[in-house]
Amino acid sequence: MAQASLYVSASNGEGFPNALVEAMALGVPVIATNCASGPSEILGDLPRHAVRDTMVTSWGTLVPVNDVQKLGIAIREGLEAPDRIAAQGAAGQMRAQEYSVDRAVEHYWTIIDQIK
């Protein structure tokens, strides 16, 4: 996966898109459908309903679910814009750290400390 030009997730639904975050951790630029649950939160820091159409973010690109044309356009544009996708890949690596085990443990301890 680390050698990929792009990681594309065309899911209609996810529990949590682990492979998407793994691609980001490797610095691979990401294109994902705005399915439930996770891609809009991970790539746009937005709830799913706030993303209405294709959205290019610092961390990746979101496209509408079941829109083959827009997914194809996003892939083509991503491959034709190596500087932009390289920047997304680098930013995605930083963003993926938010989903690390260490970060999850920190969040759990914060919550536990708040209810003590």
pTM of the predicted structure, to 2 decimals:
0.89
Q: What is the pLDDT of residue 115?
A: 92
Report residues of the chain scoring pLDDT below 50.
none
Going from the C-alpha of 25 to that of each of 33, 52, 94, the distances in angstroms are 19, 26, 7
| pLDDT score for 113 | 93
Kindly tell me the burial class for residue 110, based on how many C-beta atoms sit within 10 Å of its own C-beta (0-12, 13-18, 19 or more): exposed
Cα 18 to Cα 82: distance, rounded to the nearest angstrom:
24
